[in-house]
Amino acid sequence: MSESLLSWGRWPRRPQRAIALDWLPDHLPTLGPSKLLPRGQGRSYGDSCLNSRGLLLTTGALDRVIHFDRETGVLRAEAGLTFDDLLRLCLPAGWFPPVTPGTRFLSLGGAVANDVHGKNHHGAGTIGHHVRALELLRSDGSRQLLTPADTSGLFRATIGGLGLTGLITWVELQLVPTRGPWFESHTVRFSTLAECFEIGPELQARHGYTAAWIDSLAPAGQSGRGLYICGDPSDSSEPAAWREPRLRIPLDCPEWLLNPLSLKLFNTLYYRQPLKQGRVHAWPFLYPLDVLADWNRIYGHRGFQQWQCVVPSADAPALCAELLSRIRAHRQGSFLALLKTFGSMDPAGLLSFARPGVTLALDFPMLGERTARMLQELNALVREAGGALYPAKDAQMSAEDFRSGYPRVEEFEGFRDPLLESDFWRRVRGGGEA
């Protein structure tokens, strides 16, 4: 089985077949009755980028820039272009993506298909709010030029549509001006989860980019302590003198490496680190994990699951406390636990995850049934609170969880291309996992 065709979480592990698209095709390839699924860089964590019963159409080679207007910041590029390549082109010209996910190695098409958000959602929304146009190639051979003014509903179905409405061939984005690659960073330490929710609104009002790292293994009385990491683009235009470290995890780490004791030690040291204030390069501020290539191998051969939910703001303090309590009870802490507050913008797509509320994301080593039982428990709490789980991170949610979090799914089905499916879609729509 090719490791390159796993998801980023490396679980579930199922054989995949793929065709690489080197040029924009006139028609979608066919292989008998097999279902197809476009796939960018495979940076989704669960099974939304897998298609075990059919064929993947990999778009990594579709990475050409079609047009870039350096005066207006309008960029049109093929869907396989990564944010890393986009930044290397637009940043020297004084432009920056309006929304960027937590890695630079995601494709533009993948970002649109998952309607990704960043640390600035409370002011900028998701990537879907900034798409000026895109082209969709459907299995009937039609090419659809879609804009936000589209009245058919296909544009809103494609934003966050998990790549199931057709092959996104190119995307046109409106970039935002920037003076350079620097951010002014400001970090605040907080002692409890209650304090995190207390200081959050003021920090979000003062800063364009915010996220709170939570110590999910903190001792009793300090539950939910952590660091509020804030920042804004700097006015400095000095040339970038920062050199990105080039580190790599060369092999799968032993699975005993991440255990409750080592995670607790890491979290304690991270919480007590000197607070970072002042100018910092955009790379470590926005993409801290990208400095360590193949960091997902830290979790070993069995892989890991990232779990992310969004819950209504009014219930968030109590519900997040309960979620952390359940995780501790299962003795499955995480060294990556992030809490963010989404802004009030309406979702850009029919199946967009980001919506008004509070979002909590955690990574867990995959420990088989033990991890599955814990996640089912967390999923039920989110469902009962009227929240939703993030399909791009998921490998466990049930059909009931999905229907509850995405009430417009039946409307979306009317726009789904009948030739396109994924393992995720079969799982949550009753077609089996693989």
Alpha carbon 111 to chain centroid, angstroms: 8
The Cα–Cα gap between 79 and 23 comes to: 11
Within 8 A by CB and 6+ apart from 226, the residues are: 189, 190, 196, 212, 213, 214, 215, 271, 337, 339
pLDDT on residue 30: 79
pLDDT on residue 432: 59
pLDDT on residue 83: 98
pLDDT on residue 240: 62
For the whole model, what pTM was predicted?
0.96
The Cα–Cα gap between 39 and 20 comes to: 10
Rg of the chain (C-alpha set): 21
pLDDT on residue 422: 98
Q: Say if CB 343 and CB 306 are below 8 A apart.
A: no
The string of pLDDT tens digits covering residues 317-329 is: 999 999 999 999 9
The Cα–Cα gap between 46 and 156 comes to: 23
Q: How many CA atoms lie within 13 A of 340 on its CB side?
A: 28
The low-confidence residues of the chain, meaning pLDDT below 50, are none
Q: What type of residue is 23?
A: W
Instruction: Sheet with 182-190: list strands edge to edge.
Output: 277-281, 182-190, 226-233, 209-214, 337-342, 357-365, 304-311, 388-389
Q: Say if CB 379 and CB 395 are below 8 A apart.
A: no
The Cα–Cα gap between 34 and 38 comes to: 13
pLDDT on residue 45: 97
Within 8 A by CB and 6+ apart from 375, the residues are: 305, 307, 364, 396
8-28 residues labelled b (16+ CB within 10 A) or e (exposed): bbbbbebebeeeebeebeeeb
**CB neighbourhood size of 220 (10 A):** 6
The Cα–Cα gap between 239 and 92 comes to: 9
Q: Say if CB 14 and CB 53 are below 8 A apart.
A: no
Reported as type and span, the H/E element at residue 254 is: none
Q: Any idea what DSSP says for residue 360?
A: E
The Cα–Cα gap between 196 and 316 comes to: 11
pLDDT on residue 7: 97
Within 8 A by CB and 6+ apart from 407, the residues are: none
The Cα–Cα gap between 43 and 37 comes to: 14
Q: Say if CB 123 and CB 60 are below 8 A apart.
A: no
